[in-house]
Amino acid sequence: MPDETTAQVTVAATAGPLDATTADGVRALAARTAAADGVAPLSEQPLLWLTDPEASAVHVRATDASGQLVGYAQADVGAATSASAELVVDPVHRRTGIGSRLLERLRSETAVVPGRTLRVWAHGDLPSARAFAGHAGMVVVRELWRMSLDLAVPREARPLPAGVTARPFVPGQDEEAWRRVNSRAFAHHPEQGRMTASDLRAREAEPWFDPDGFLLAERDGALLGSVWTKVHAADEDGGGHAVPVGEIYVVGVDPDAQGLGLGGALTALGLDHLAARGLRTAILYTGAENTVAIRTYTRLGFTKESADVMFGSGTQGSPAGVTMST
């Protein structure tokens, strides 16, 4: 993978984990961009994959003549038919062609597999990202809604189905059973359905992880589904919240247990847990095309707060993508 040097900026691609210093540089770049845009440019997965030796990731870095990181992109090349990636350019170096060069390098890296597509997510649907995508010949192919709920407003009770009980996740015991149900629940989701043991361990090692907020629903000892919650520090979620907010991180129900109302009941359990922690707001993310989930969340009191959009040359509803902040 040869480097490309133009106008004192070098663009280089590497596979495998980044060293600690380089990874810290990417995190600092993401923080600077979030402060400028009011939206986090890189989501959780690429940040966790910066130093993960098992990640199916290609890292693309743009550095200036002094070696300062001025742009970064990461592509998930673990799937044969589509590649997802995220891209960010330092705000003070925008409109100098760095974003276009990162995107072109992503395209060349992912095109190693013939026919594999590359899509572009834009967090917050910023005008600058739309302009960048239009210049690159991309159109909107999907929306991801961010929905929020006031935890202080009373909600309708949503009891668990008869015979179903819930308990906290036990680290070191429940990983494989949870991953098995999760992969079945998200069989058609290219990211969530591919969560590996390494991905799960990485999240368990994060400061926010709380097994008491990771609830498993069982009947006769069999795992049927789960709700996993996450608490963001003030404005850590990129949504401009001045106080901590809770997130319904993942709700998954085994296909064999669908139709029981378990998804709504688990979501309600997660909201009760977040409210008990004294949080005032809960958020979640769902695809705009997932009308069943949106109906469930709306009944619980969630409303649309904002949206991320995916750009590409494919058809509406394609699920993989690249996130960019240019």
Confidence of residue 20 (pLDDT cuts 50, 70, 90): very high
- The answer to whether residues 28 and 87 belong to one domain is yes
Confidence of residue 318 (pLDDT cuts 50, 70, 90): very low
- The answer to whether residues 230 and 321 belong to one domain is no
Q: 151 — alpha (psi -120 to 50), left (phi > 0) or beta?
A: alpha
Confidence of residue 315 (pLDDT cuts 50, 70, 90): very low
267 contacts 227 by C-beta, under 8 angstroms: yes
191 contacts 45 by C-beta, under 8 angstroms: yes
Question: With 60 as the cut, is the pLDDT of residue 322 above it?
Answer: no
- The answer to whether residues 162 and 236 belong to one domain is yes
- The answer to whether residues 296 and 209 belong to one domain is yes
Is 149 domain-assigned?
no
Is 64 domain-assigned?
yes
Rounded Cα distance, 189 and 25, in Å: 31
Encoded tokens for 128? 């600058």
301 contacts 150 by C-beta, under 8 angstroms: yes
274-290: average pLDDT: 94
Encoded tokens for 38? 């009011």
Is 318 domain-assigned?
yes
Instruction: Give residue 320's pLDDT.
Output: 36
- The answer to whether residues 61 and 109 belong to one domain is yes
- The answer to whether residues 34 and 76 belong to one domain is yes
- The answer to whether residues 138 and 170 belong to one domain is no
116-125, 263-272, 297-306: segment of lowest average pLDDT? 116-125
Question: With 70 as the cut, is the pLDDT of residue 4 above it?
Answer: no
User: pLDDT (tens digit, 9 = 90+) per residue, 226-235?
Assistant: 999 999 987 6
Is 148 domain-assigned?
no
User: pLDDT (tens digit, 9 = 90+) per residue, 90-116?
Assistant: 999 999 999 999 999 999 998 888 888
146 contacts 307 by C-beta, under 8 angstroms: yes
Confidence of residue 238 (pLDDT cuts 50, 70, 90): low
Confidence of residue 280 (pLDDT cuts 50, 70, 90): very high
4-18, 28-42, 132-146, 201-215: segment of lowest average pLDDT? 4-18
Rounded Cα distance, 12 and 275, in Å: 46
Number of domain units in the chain: 2
User: Domain holding 277: CATH number?
Assistant: 3.40.630.30
Rounded Cα distance, 76 and 28, in Å: 21
- The answer to whether residues 168 and 274 belong to one domain is yes
